[in-house]
Structure 1
């Protein structure tokens, strides 16, 4: 059985890998947005990126440990974390015992869909995976008000994906891998929607029965919990960006 120290290093490596992969697939936003992962133990501590580093610079050892009150474990690192990042991530980590990892992005496609009245449409089998299981949270300004946390987790409820209106995307997972695969699928769904609708042409939607059937297939298949995609993605990183695990 792994001890807490070895478990923490494994989580650090996986989260650093996720940062590199978010950058690799064009889902980062300069030094902004954030990914977090809860550490083992009862203290509900979690890892967050040091504010000011690009996602393709993040390493396992550079991640900052934060407590539920927004304080870093090392006082000298207090200025290194994003206040908005803490608001969003602490909300989920304090209220969802089933969640280890939270990811939040500001992608062009994600923000565009977040501005559309109808939300995410079931235009493709990727987006059908979220049928009936995606949450929405109304925009309240920059996420600096800790009181927003209660409304954010209420809107998220037990779902694993959420569109923050006029803001961006958020996914959670029981592992870093699961949260990343949720985000990748949600991002691709948004890219498909913007591409399909940008010319103003009429779009075709499948029947509700087919959409529900496809969503059930995704749930049964548990695509986002298979170890194979994550193992393949980390092999890619080992080839092109191996220092993530340092």
Structure 2
């Protein structure tokens, strides 16, 4: 595959395959039933997605499937694409051209908090980063209905974190690295919340601190976003199994 695509697409494939492996490594995957998509560089209507049937820790740069905005395959692959899984992603990619990557998981902690009426609570440092750019979308059943798309994107607006009620978590990123690090923070906030709720009375963070969280993120990451952590995450994967690069 490497010799059949542009260098830019190949790099996107490597990064997206790495993202799938990392989601598996961190324990957020739900067998084969969630998706991470990335826009093919230089295009508005071509995306890369997982081959439906492969576990996330099996995915490689070459095995990723190129699709259009309707989830149709644009190249041969022995694996199908789950069209239902692309309903959410296609809706977001169509309106959020600032996002290269859309990452969706059914992590246990994330689903648990998505079922709580109060949603994400301002009780941790991780939570303030999420709350500074968080939207919610009500559950409408398994994502099979095209008519849900306008409601989904209206709820999302310009936010980069989306809690799908009774369903899971979703993040957007200008890069694949940004989407992954956003999900790391999102899942951590949910994990901390579930554990904290098992104890005593919770201490909540003042709203004025949350309002300045985005600027704090830029300071902490030196305005590089997820790219600051990404090389280290790739080194982690390379120590485990570098086959995602093939």
- With structure 2 as the length reference, what TM-score do the two structures score? 0.92
Aligned partner of 1:85 in structure 2 is: 85
**By how many angstroms is 1:147 displaced?**
1.5
Aligned partner of 2:6 in structure 1 is: 5
CA distance in 1, matches of 2:224, 2:202: 28
**By how many angstroms is 1:209 displaced?**
2.5
RMSD between superposed Cα atoms in Å: 1.8
CA distance in 2, matches of 1:151, 1:121: 24
CA distance in 2, matches of 1:103, 1:73: 21
CA distance in 2, matches of 1:43, 1:226: 23
Report which stretch shifted further, 35-44 or 160-169: 35-44
CA contact (8 A) 1:122 1:206 kept: yes
In the TM superposition, what whole-angstrom CA distance separates every residue of 1:119-139 from its partner, at most 9, and x where no partner exists?
101111111112241000010
Q: Secondary structure at the match of 1:155?
A: helix
CA distance in 2, matches of 1:244, 1:177: 15
**By how many angstroms is 1:227 displaced?**
2.5
CA distance in 2, matches of 1:214, 1:172: 17
CA contact (8 A) 2:106 2:169 kept: yes
User: Unaligned stretches of 5+ in structure 2?
Assistant: none
CA distance in 1, matches of 2:76, 2:15: 25
- With structure 1 as the length reference, what TM-score do the two structures score? 0.92
CA contact (8 A) 2:39 2:100 kept: yes
**By how many angstroms is 1:83 displaced?**
2.0
CA contact (8 A) 1:127 1:186 kept: yes
Aligned partner of 1:74 in structure 2 is: 75
Matched, 1:204 2:203: yes
CA contact (8 A) 1:129 1:219 kept: no
CA distance in 2, matches of 1:60, 1:89: 20
Aligned partner of 1:190 in structure 2 is: 190
CA contact (8 A) 2:46 2:69 kept: yes
CA contact (8 A) 1:131 1:215 kept: no
CA distance in 2, matches of 1:30, 1:226: 25
Report which stretch shifted further, 152-161 or 201-210: 201-210
Report which stretch shifted further, 224-233 or 214-223: 214-223
In the TM superposition, what whole-angstrom CA distance separates every residue of 1:198-231 from its partner, at most 9, and x where no partner exists?
34x2111122223334454124544661523000
CA contact (8 A) 1:104 1:168 kept: yes
CA distance in 1, matches of 2:224, 2:82: 28
CA distance in 2, matches of 1:237, 1:183: 17
Aligned partner of 1:237 in structure 2 is: 237
User: Unaligned stretches of 5+ in structure 1?
Assistant: none
Q: Secondary structure at the match of 2:20?
A: helix
